[in-house]
Amino acid sequence: MSKLYFRYGAMGSGKTIDLLKVAYNYKERGQDVVIYTAKIDDRYEVGKVTTRIGIQSDALTFDTDTNIYRQVKLMDKKPACILVDEAQFLTRKQVLMLTDVVDILEIPVICYGLRTNFKMRFFEGSEPLMEMADKIEEIKTICDCGRKATVNMRMINGVPVTNGPDILIGGNDSYKAVCRKCYKRLTHHVAGI
């Protein structure tokens, strides 16, 4: 039985390396996988899924106009699994398409991404994934203080910021995974004051 999975975590939690590990396991058994990543993520190279330690794989790209269901349906060979990196950049409609890949084409889909942005609000694709995924798993990482990191704090020149565009592509230079308590302390964010 095919399922839609959403594996989320803060930046630096190893989401992409987990995706590539899953892809390797399928390929090692002679099964084809299709990897998707967001076209907007050009940190390393468009059309590549790349970990922070340099392991990479080719990937199909998606943007807001990509009909993922149609692409998968028209593939010459049915893949054993679809893997989606940077799933937070999916649209709600694309998440619905992925449920059709699972329910109609009977192909499991595993999505990897961030749950919330630096303002602690759902990304467009993360909210419907949280609503519709058959299985949700958190990939954990830790804050400098030792607590579980849940917030992707945006940094500009090493200083935490709480305003700006919702999407800013970046890595360790632009974001730091922290716990909610440290986020509040470092950004001086206190609710109700």
Among 28, 86, 106, 131, the active-site one is 86
- d(CA 114, CA 6) in angstroms, rounded, equals 10
* CA R_g for the chain: 17
Q: Two tokens at 119?
A: 């303002």
Instruction: Check if the beta carbon of residue 60 is closer than 8 Å to that of residue 49.
Output: no
Amino acid at 168: L
Active site residue 86: yes
Strands 151-156 and 159-161: antiparallel
Backbone CA torsion sign across 144, 42, 136, 23: negative
- d(CA 73, CA 70) in angstroms, rounded, equals 5
Q: What are phi and psi of 167, to 5 degrees?
A: -115, 125
Strands 109-113 and 135-138: unpaired
Residues belonging to the active site: 86
